[in-house]
Chain A
Amino acid sequence: MAVQVKEREHQDVETEQLMSGCEAIAEAIRLADVDVMAAYPIRPYDGVMQAAAKLIANGKMDVEYIVADGEHSQFEIVKHACAVGARVFVGSSGVGWFYAFEAIAVTAGLRLPVVAICGNRALDDPGAFGTEHNDSLAVRDLGWLLPWAETAQEAMDLALMAWRVGEDKRVSLPVAIGLDGAFLTHSQAIVKIPTQAAVDKFLPKFDLGDRLLHPDNPITIAPQVDQDWLMEIRMQNDQAMRKAHDVISEAHADFKKLFGRGGDSPFLDEYMTDDAEVVVFGQGTLALPMKVAIRRLRKEGHKVGLVRLKWFRPFPTQEIVKSLSRFKAVGVIDRDYSFGSPYYGGVLYNEVRSALYSLDKRPTIVGFIAGLGGREIEQAMATDIFEKTKAAADNIKSGDMCHWIGVRS
């Protein structure tokens, strides 16, 4: 499905605007000609619903905008709109995301390409508004594609990618874009807004084909299959997730051609890694304070760098193996927790270690839990992370532990 266009032909008519991550997503909704969206208030994701409501009220886009009676209804409404062929958008945060959990699970089971954002927020109780990734990560096993954005620009770009990849017949899976609460949902930056013509070239019309629910196509969707067929159906989901890897690469290549953005790899964003000995690995906005620390530490002569993960699902195992095996030590920073997991590490830590297990020459992988509840990752903490990772470099077993960073004693 490669797009045949001249490189960056639309660059001259792009506009630039100062906007938050939420506003950038709302622009993507407009550009994608979304048909149905369902809103329900919870901070911080709902900034996108507020921004979209303004666009609708001012006649900038034509979307059925349904204010639901709860997150479960929100996700069910778009799921069913999607089944009759509508391009849809939805989202939530924290405990709201969990309130929708049943609908989230079945959406993936139904292979309906709903596009959502999860404005990452700590799970109550006790109450907290700030970023934690446990809301998005809770769906990691269910068949949702899970990209994570670092900037408002990337939020918009990933949203356009999300419809393209999710709706691709080889994939046909829902996508939930992770946006760090406050740090990204509500922080403004300059965003390049592509033209409608360019987006139309990138994003084909949504077509469910013979899976469309319509009187002209009287199918029965999701009958009771029991043990007779469920395993075959689960395996189809597995195959779709496998195919998603290449479809993302393809979409990324087209995106780069059309818009001139997106970096070298669709899956990883590497920062000062060429000669690095020690790197940190993480996702979302924590890249920013870590990049500042890297520049500072490099001035002091330390060969340090960052590898940022852009897609948690499908987990880009080969790309991660290829990248991380170059280094002596990797510090994996989790903005999440997984109580009682191996070595009491975070989710990302154990996934990365699992991916690297069969390598002959493995880097030491140390786990860090930092920035929970939206706590700022300060420079002293960043330095601490690099020092601990470096100290573990010579002994692979010293990675069998997880450090909590910046915690008051």
Chain B
Amino acid sequence: MAVETHGTGTLPQIKGVKDVPYEELFVSGHRTCQGCESALVMRHMVKASGPRTIVLGSTGCMYVANTTYYTTPWVVPWMHTQLGASGSAALGTAAGLKVLMRKGKIKDEKINVIAFCGDGGGADMGLGAISATLTHKDYNCLVLLYDNESYANTDIQLSSQTPYGAVTTFSPSGTKKRLMHTRWKKNVPGMLAAGHPESRYIAAGCAAYAVDLMNKIRKALELGGPTFVHTLDPCPKGWDYHPQYSQELGHLAVETGIWPLYEVMDGVCNLTGPTRQIAEGRKKRKPVYEYLKRQGRFAHFLDEDVEHFQAQVDKMWTEWLIPGVIPFTIAAKDQTILKIDKKALHEQKTA
């Protein structure tokens, strides 16, 4: 028996800035830093989802700095969840609503369920639970990972999303070791898209491209089932730059090709925004140095570090199967994978 999956079905795509809803569901009361892009993601997220939404927030900046007793910024119902529990919170809430509606214990209606987590909560501790949730296709819920590339709430410690070489309080640049952190950033949305073929929507966005981000959130909620959106959020405190440049850094992350914008919808990958323009050759990728030099966390970089960073990003664009999404390369001598006759395989199976 097919499992019934229904999205909210009431969230049309936003056609431009003038089409963005006026209604604010994330308002004053939060205590995030000036220039906090993650707070902006929260605002866009609930603007896109509308008032019939339940938000679950895992521990991190968007809990501790964001949701203080008596001064909650949340107009929609909101509940804290544990650092590694965003996936489980989304699942439990969606399952609870579903069964209560089926049994007639609450009114049967469309309620959006969104659980958010930071990069620490989502890409490190909570990755397993998010992965599990993305396989439960009969529950409608969105997990949003706001990625400011460090444990920014606990004093800027490195996470698996901290870029190569960046200074954090766990990776200071010292006299003996210039680079304490030499791991490359984990490819979370690509990994989740590749590993969860039944999730109908997985996307990478950025608040600097607000309409694109809101539309991604709407698509995720509208398609239904368990979905995932990952945003890259410039963080003045963690990245060490003046708060007025947050949007600019978001643009640069995308324009340098470091943070590709894309969506994987029902198994089909679309590059979006400037990422698409770069891929189509309509826009030139900016050198990563343009992005790195604007941030204090890379101030200790020597030319060789910048070159390594650039080479890794170049590789992502020139060698990956899908730039920024699927990191496999195919050996030049062996193109068997590309030559597979899918039609013949299908006929063979049905014969």
Question: Which residues of A are in contact with B by a Cβ distance under 8 Å?
Answer: 33, 35-36, 38, 62-64, 66, 68-70, 72-73, 76-86, 88, 102-103, 106, 205, 213-215, 217-226, 228-229
A224: which of B51, B69, B79, B100 is its contact (CB, 8 Å)?
Answer: B69
Q: Is the CB of A83 within 8 A of B79?
A: yes
Docked CA distance A80–B91 (Å): 8
Please judge, given known A-B contacts A76-B89, A215-B54, whether A220 and B84 are in contact too, CB under 8 Å: no
Q: Is the CB of B100 within 8 A of A66?
A: no
* A221 contacts across to B, CB distance below 8 A: 77-80
Q: Is the CB of B96 within 8 A of A81?
A: yes
B42 to chain A minimum Cβ distance, whole angstroms, is 13
Q: Is the CB of A223 within 8 A of B103?
A: no
Docked CA distance A271–B64 (Å): 53
* B84 contacts across to A, CB distance below 8 A: 72
| B65 to A, closest residue via Cβ | A224
Please judge, given known A-B contacts A76-B92, A84-B97, whether A224 and B64 are in contact too, CB under 8 Å: yes
Q: Is the CB of A72 within 8 A of B100?
A: no
Please judge, given known A-B contacts A69-B131, A80-B96, A215-B111, whether A224 and B76 are in contact too, CB under 8 Å: no
Q: Is the CB of B88 within 8 A of A224?
A: no
Q: Is the CB of A72 within 8 A of B129?
A: yes
Q: Is the CB of A215 within 8 A of B82?
A: no
Check if B228 is an interface residue, CB within 8 A of chain A: no
| B64 to A, closest residue via Cβ | A224
Q: Which of B158-211 contact A (CB under 8 A)?
A: none
* B129 contacts across to A, CB distance below 8 A: 69-70, 72-73, 76
* B54 contacts across to A, CB distance below 8 A: 84, 213-215
A96 to chain B minimum Cβ distance, whole angstroms, is 15
Check if B232 is an interface residue, CB within 8 A of chain A: no
Q: Is the CB of A225 within 8 A of B69?
A: yes
* Number of CB contacts from chain A to chain B under 8 A: 146
B135 to chain A minimum Cβ distance, whole angstroms, is 9
A84 to chain B minimum Cβ distance, whole angstroms, is 4
Please judge, given known A-B contacts A36-B96, A215-B51, whether A69 and B77 are in contact too, CB under 8 Å: no
Docked CA distance A76–B69 (Å): 22
Please judge, given known A-B contacts A69-B132, A215-B54, A221-B78, whether A35 and B85 are in contact too, CB under 8 Å: no
* A63 contacts across to B, CB distance below 8 A: 99
Q: Is the CB of B88 within 8 A of A72?
A: yes
Please judge, given known A-B contacts A218-B76, A220-B74, whether A229 and B95 are in contact too, CB under 8 Å: no
A83: which of B68, B96, B98 is its contact (CB, 8 Å)?
Answer: B96
Check if B67 is an interface residue, CB within 8 A of chain A: yes
Q: Which of B75-128 contact A (CB under 8 A)?
A: 75-82, 84-85, 87-93, 95-100, 102-103, 105-106, 111, 128
Docked CA distance A81–B97 (Å): 7
Q: Given contacts A76-B89, A83-B93, A221-B80, could you give 5 more A-B pairs where the C-beta distance is less than 8 Å?
A: A33-B103, A72-B129, A73-B85, A80-B81, A224-B69
* B74 contacts across to A, CB distance below 8 A: 218, 220
B319 to chain A minimum Cβ distance, whole angstroms, is 33
Please judge, given known A-B contacts A73-B129, A85-B106, A215-B76, whether A80 and B68 are in contact too, CB under 8 Å: no
B8 to chain A minimum Cβ distance, whole angstroms, is 12
Docked CA distance A36–B90 (Å): 14
Q: Is the CB of B72 within 8 A of A77?
A: no
Q: Is the CB of A106 within 8 A of B82?
A: yes
> Is chain B's interface secondary structure helix, strand, loop, or mixed overall?
mixed
Give the interface size bracket for B toward A. Answer: 35 or more
B98 to chain A minimum Cβ distance, whole angstroms, is 7
* B72 contacts across to A, CB distance below 8 A: 220, 223
| A34 to B, closest residue via Cβ | B99
B154 to chain A minimum Cβ distance, whole angstroms, is 13
CB<8 Å pairs between A and B, sample of 28: A35-B96, A36-B95, A36-B99, A63-B99, A64-B95, A64-B98, A66-B92, A66-B95, A69-B129, A70-B128, A70-B129, A73-B87, A73-B129, A73-B132, A76-B82, A76-B92, A80-B93, A81-B95, A83-B79, A83-B93, A84-B93, A103-B82, A106-B82, A205-B105, A217-B77, A223-B69, A224-B64, A224-B67
Q: Is the CB of A214 within 8 A of B106?
A: yes
Q: Is the CB of B96 within 8 A of A215?
A: no
Docked CA distance A72–B52 (Å): 28
Check if B259 is an interface residue, CB within 8 A of chain A: no
* B100 contacts across to A, CB distance below 8 A: 35, 84-86
Q: Is the CB of B88 within 8 A of A73?
A: yes
Q: Is the CB of B99 within 8 A of A66?
A: no
A229: which of B69, B80, B132 is its contact (CB, 8 Å)?
Answer: B69
* B91 contacts across to A, CB distance below 8 A: 66, 73, 77, 80
Check if B288 is an interface residue, CB within 8 A of chain A: no
* B262 contacts across to A, CB distance below 8 A: none
Check if B300 is an interface residue, CB within 8 A of chain A: no
Please judge, given known A-B contacts A69-B132, A220-B67, A220-B78, whether A215 and B53 are in contact too, CB under 8 Å: yes
| A84 to B, closest residue via Cβ | B96
Docked CA distance A232–B296 (Å): 43
Q: Is the CB of A66 within 8 A of B136?
A: yes
* B278 contacts across to A, CB distance below 8 A: none
* B291 contacts across to A, CB distance below 8 A: none
Docked CA distance A217–B107 (Å): 13
Q: Which of B40-76 contact A (CB under 8 A)?
A: 51-54, 56, 63-64, 67-70, 72, 74-76
Which 7 pairs across A and B sit closest by C-beta, in order of nearness?
Answer: A80-B92, A81-B96, A76-B88, A77-B92, A69-B132, A222-B80, A86-B96
Please judge, given known A-B contacts A63-B99, A214-B106, A222-B80, whether A80 and B88 are in contact too, CB under 8 Å: yes
| A233 to B, closest residue via Cβ | B69
Q: Is the CB of B95 within 8 A of A77?
A: yes
| A73 to B, closest residue via Cβ | B88
